[in-house]
Structure 1
Amino acid sequence: MDVLFNVVGIVVYVALGLLALWGAFCAVLVWRRVGQVRFDDEDEQDEFLAELDASLGQGNYSAAAQLCEDDRRALPQLALFAIENRELGITKLQRRLWERFQQDVLADIEHRLSWVATVVKSAPMVGLFGTVLGMMGAFRGIATGGSDVDPTAMAGNIMLALITTACGLAIAVPLLLVTNSIVVRIRKMEDLVGLGIGRLIDSLKLAFARSK
């Protein structure tokens, strides 16, 4: 029975280690993904929109599209979609831009972020499982040992209970802080993209009006 407890204890440690690695990996991926699709600040976005406005103001849609093609950030790709599908009209374009932003950018980020949230919830539960396992081993030693209880074995079981709990919390708390910081970055990106789409629609309205 002691061998079984030891094996399960090792499995708990391995599971916590894998959760820590997977959570950190997913968090880094999400952080990088958000950084790849957003402008660092409003000034940088304004510079891009000013260049785009200049091309659209001249009715030069090919130059505007070329400006957006090599930029993989969200707003330039949305602008490229709007330029390529300008025959849809302003109303449909505005709706489609928000749909594409939700589907292509936010849905992908939220899917990746959900894995981090899963680790945040799972790590303390696995740690709690180790706690229960350790206390079961300790009480079993007391129950079967009678007056000859081995304090070393009991201390080992209690140590397993405490270490797994601590490990679960040590994994969950930093990842929770990282998740909240990523959510803040996502909200800032949404605000910036919302402002950018508004300016893009205004620029397209003027370009359409001049071309008539």
Structure 2
Amino acid sequence: MQELFNLIGYAIYASMALLAIWGAFNAVLVWRRVAQVRFRNEEEQTEFFDELDVELAKGDNEKAIEICEDDRRAMPQLALYAIENRDLGPIKVQRRLVERFQQDVLADIEHRLAWVSTVTKSAPMVGLFGTVIGMMAAFDNLGQGTKVDPGVMAGNIMVALITTALGLAIAVPLMITTASINIQIRKMEDLIASGLTRLMESLQSITGRA
């Protein structure tokens, strides 16, 4: 019976290792994705729009498109779409910009972040399962009567404690990372919202002059 408990313990260790790797992998991907698609601060976004507005004011749409194409962040790509489709009208363009931001940027981020959240919730549960298995093995050894092996019992209790600690060691850093990423996402959404407002105002003023 002890051999079976030992095998289950090894399987739990392997599962927690896989959970830790998968959670860290998705957290890194989300962090990098957010860093790639957002402006670091409002000043950077303002500099981009100042440069873009100069070309739009001159009527040089090709240069404006070139500026947007050279920048792979979310706001420049949304500006590129708006410039290329400005004939659709401001209301329709703005609605499509919001849809593209949701589909092209937030959808991928939320998908990866959901995996991080799943690992965060699963790791303590797997650790708790390991705790139960360890205690069951300890009580099984205790139930042997005069054949109780203190070394085996100590090993079983150690498994129970280690799996609990591993579950928390995986979940807590991922929780902190997720909270930090969510803060960055909210900042990005605020910048995108203000950027879309300025972009639509620039396009409407140019359309009005035309």
TM-score category (smaller protein): over 0.9
In the TM superposition, 1:1-212 aligns within 5 A as 1-143=1-143, 145-211=144-210
Residues 72-122 of structure 1, C-alpha deviation per residue, up to 9 Å, x if partnerless? 100000000001111111111111111111111111111111111011011
TM-score (norm 2): 0.98
What is the rounded CA distance, in whole Å, between the counterparts of 2:66 and 2:175 in structure 1? Answer: 40
Sequence identity percentage: 65
What is the rounded CA distance, in whole Å, between the counterparts of 1:40 and 1:175 in structure 2? Answer: 23
Deviation at 1:24, TM superposition (A): 0.8
What is the rounded CA distance, in whole Å, between the counterparts of 2:76 and 2:169 in structure 1? Answer: 40
Deviation at 1:147, TM superposition (A): 2.9
Across the aligned residues of Structure 1 and Structure 2, the Cα RMSD in angstroms comes to 0.8
Deviation at 1:130, TM superposition (A): 0.4
What is the rounded CA distance, in whole Å, between the counterparts of 1:24 and 1:58 in structure 2? Answer: 48
What is the rounded CA distance, in whole Å, between the counterparts of 1:61 and 1:71 in structure 2? Answer: 16
What is the rounded CA distance, in whole Å, between the counterparts of 1:27 and 1:91 in structure 2? Answer: 36
How many residues are paired up? 210
Structure 1: unaligned runs, 5 residues or longer: none
Residues 52-85 of structure 1, C-alpha deviation per residue, up to 9 Å, x if partnerless? 1111111211111110002110000000000111
TM-score (norm 1): 0.97
What is the rounded CA distance, in whole Å, between the counterparts of 2:163 and 2:91 in structure 1? Answer: 56
Residues 17-76 of structure 1, C-alpha deviation per residue, up to 9 Å, x if partnerless? 111111111111100000000001000000000011111111211111110002110000
Deviation at 1:196, TM superposition (A): 0.4
What is the rounded CA distance, in whole Å, between the counterparts of 2:192 and 2:51 in structure 1? Answer: 16
Q: Secondary structure at the match of 2:147?
A: coil
Structure 2: unaligned runs, 5 residues or longer: none
What is the rounded CA distance, in whole Å, between the counterparts of 1:81 and 1:199 in structure 2? Answer: 15
Deviation at 1:210, TM superposition (A): 1.4
